[in-house]
Each structure stands twice: as structure tokens, then as C-alpha cells.
Chains A and B, each alone.
Chain A
Amino acid sequence: MSLYYVQKLLYQLNRDPELRRRFAADAELVLAAYELTTEERDAIRQADIGLLYVLGVNGQLLMHYAALRGFEWAAYLDAMREGVRRHGPVRTGVYAMVKD
């Protein structure tokens, strides 16, 4: 798990138009600069919003990445719900701080 670096990439994409341009032009090159597992890299590349949520990405970062990748608000919420159905509860991060 390298949730920190997943979130760092999304944080930087949200803030930096130049990084967004480079990511759009060559996602692999940008992804290679971050310590990510294969699962994380695939989820970011494929805009698997549901899996990114389950991996623990904070919604305050994820909602902007989802918007960047073309998810309308309702579709963004649905994608997270579908992620939980497919992959189970959030594994780490702030949404896993309290066990039900």
C-alpha cells in the first residue's frame, strides 16, 4: 500500500495545470515518478474511482480527480458505491479509522 503517494499525485494534479497537461500527454511518465503498486497505478490510469475510494483516497482529493476524468457528481458517488460492492470496505486511511 502506498496511499500517501496515490494521494500526493492526485493532490498535485489538482493544483498544477502543467502536471495535468503532462499527465494527459503521457500518464505513464507521470505515474513512474511515484511509488505506486500495480493496483494503484492501474486504478489511477483507468480512473477506477471506486477502487481508489476503497484504497483509502480522501474524498476531498478524489472528487476533483473524478471531475478531471469526466465524472459528473452523481456518477462520482455511484462509482464509490460500486467500488465498495466490488472490492469491500475501505482498506486504510481516514475512512477506515473506525471499525464498524
Chain B
Amino acid sequence: MPLVFAGACSHAPGITGRAERADPEARDACYAAFDRLRGAIEATRPEALIVVAAEHFANFFMNNMPAFAIGMAEHYDGPIEDEAWLGIRRRRIPGFRDLSERLISQVMQAVDVAYAEEWLFDHGIMVPLHFLTPRFDLPVIPANINCQGPPLTPLHRAYDFGRALRRACDHVPERVALIGTGGLSHWPATPNSGKINEAWDRDFLARWAANRRDDLLSYSDEDTYREAGQGGFEIRTFIAVAGAAEGATGEVLFYRPIPVFAVGCTTAVMNLART
């Protein structure tokens, strides 16, 4: 079954954890955008949701850091963070082991991906799920791109990972949805937390929506760090979604810098051919 949905969104922990400190109008607009993204996903009637995330040392560390990983468990637990700090209760999230295994086997034809039969979800997956599958009843398959510990996964490999995910999803009979989640410019958990480079973000999102591969891959890590902070490395998740939607263009549904959330809050979709 061809991939039924491809989109992207933010995952900053402040979105849920610091909700009461935000301007109510901005917060509500952000939450409404997530609600609309949920509606768009539900309309495609997915049987599983792949979340391409930028895990932040919840599972993977510099003792053995994979460039790419995909979860292969019956279930996952999260959030790893303090519940009150994140504003999300700890729970068990259903996986889909058999589907994971078939997808991983296909992805491996093109990309050397690590698989993981254990995976703890941090805010990078829990914040999107909190909005997109609020009953936590849709099976989730987590995927990770190393956006944290240099040497980082090259951008062109992230695009190829997306292509491989697409081929794998097209190959299985299930209806699979794909969401990439990352910040654009942000300086998370540093003295510059709250800084957002709106112009850089909008330029990136224009390139993403046009899905011009060369434009998306033209960033150096040094330039990204200077202009978009360490958090800017998470564009890899958006780039993977663009790779999965190669040939299609996208649409930015919502973008607004919300400094107390420490990110330009974003929801976006790729316009895949309807099936």
C-alpha cells in the first residue's frame, strides 16, 4: 500500500511542559494546528505511524551511536522525562513488531539501519503523539536520525533514508503514515533557549515545501550551527520526510515562533497522491 501520509511537526518539550507560561492566543493557535494535523493523519486511516525523530540521548549515546535506527518492539514506554516537567503522563505506547521487521528488512536494502527491540520515548516523540494520537491507540514505529552527537548523519543520507522508508512503506500491505519531528532553528537547553531565527526557518520551510533536493541538502553543519543553533541539526528529520515524498511538494500549515516554547512551532504536510 503506498505511503498514505507524510508530514512534519515540532516536538519541543515546552509546547506541553511550559504551556501555562505562553501567551494563550499563541498557545491555542499552536495546539489548533496540531489538531488539524491530527485530522489530516486520521483522514488517511493509517494502521501505523512511523515517527522519524531526533532522539536526545534517551536510548542512543556516544558509546554506540547509529546514524539511523528503527524500533522493532511490541510496545514502547515514555516519556523518559519527569511527567510534571513535560506535562505528559508516563504510559505504554503500542508498537507493531511484525510490521517493523518487514519495514526494516526493506530499508536495509538501501540504508544500513540499526534496529532496536527496546526504545524509550523522550519528548521528541511524546510531544507529537500527545497531539497526534492522543488516545495512544495507533501503533507507532519510532525511527531515529543522529542529530545530536557529531559526527552527525549527513543530510544527503537523511534524504536517502526517507527514500528507503518510502519504498518500504509502499512494499507492505498496511496503510502507513509518516511524520518527521524536529525543531528548525533553536538553541535548546542552552543559555540561548528561546532564540529563534524566523527568517532562516521560513527559508528552510520554503525549500522543504518545494521539495527541491539540492536546496535542502546545501546546508553545512557549521552554517546551520551559526544561524540555527544546535537544534537546527534536527532538519534531518524534515529532510527524511522530503525524501519519502520525493516528487511531491508540500505545504506549511502553521509556523509561528513561540519563544517560551523555544522553537518556531511548525506543522506541515507533503501532498502525496491520494489512494
Binding site for B on A (CB under 8 A): 4, 7-8, 11, 14-15, 53, 58-64, 67, 73, 77, 80-81, 84, 94-95, 97-98
Q: Which residues of A contact B148 (CB under 8 A)?
A: 58, 60, 94
Known: A53-B190, A59-B230, A61-B57. 20 other contacts (CB 8 A): A7-B62, A8-B63, A14-B57, A15-B120, A58-B57, A59-B193, A60-B56, A60-B57, A60-B148, A62-B189, A63-B189, A73-B18, A77-B191, A94-B148, A95-B190, A97-B150, A97-B221, A97-B225, A98-B225, A98-B226
Among B80, B85, B190, B226, the most chain A Cβ lie within 10 Å of the Cβ of B190
Q: Which residues of B contact A59 (CB under 8 A)?
A: 188-190, 193, 230
Q: Which residues of B contact A63 (CB under 8 A)?
A: 189
Q: Which residues of A contact B189 (CB under 8 A)?
A: 58-60, 62-63
Rounded to whole angstroms, the CA-CA distance of A95 and B149 in the bound complex is 11
A interface footprint on B215-238 (CB within 8 Å = 1, 0 otherwise): 000000110011000100000000
A interface footprint on B179-213 (CB within 8 Å = 1, 0 otherwise): 00000000011110100000000000000000000
| A81 & B85 in contact (Cβ 8 Å cutoff) | no
Q: Which residues of A contact B149 (CB under 8 A)?
A: 58, 94
Rounded to whole angstroms, the CA-CA distance of A84 and B230 in the bound complex is 18
CB distance from B120 to the nearest CB of A (A): 7
Q: A58-B148, A59-B188, A67-B82 are in contact. Are A98 and B57 (CB under 8 A)?
A: no
What are 20 contact pairs spanning A and B, CB under 8 A? Answer: A8-B61, A15-B58, A53-B191, A58-B149, A59-B188, A59-B193, A60-B56, A60-B57, A60-B148, A60-B189, A62-B189, A73-B18, A77-B191, A77-B193, A80-B190, A80-B191, A81-B191, A94-B230, A97-B222, A98-B226
**B174 interfacial by beta-carbon distance below 8 Å:** no
Rounded to whole angstroms, the CA-CA distance of A28 and B58 in the bound complex is 25
Rounded to whole angstroms, the CA-CA distance of A11 and B226 in the bound complex is 26
Rounded to whole angstroms, the CA-CA distance of A84 and B192 in the bound complex is 12
| A94 & B18 in contact (Cβ 8 Å cutoff) | no
**B170 interfacial by beta-carbon distance below 8 Å:** no
CB distance from B237 to the nearest CB of A (A): 15
**B81 interfacial by beta-carbon distance below 8 Å:** yes
Rounded to whole angstroms, the CA-CA distance of A2 and B189 in the bound complex is 21
Rounded to whole angstroms, the CA-CA distance of A63 and B14 in the bound complex is 13
Q: Which residues of A contact B63 (CB under 8 A)?
A: 8
Q: Which residues of B contact A97 (CB under 8 A)?
A: 150, 221-222, 225
Query: B80, B150, B190: which contacts A14 (Cβ < 8 A)?
Result: B80
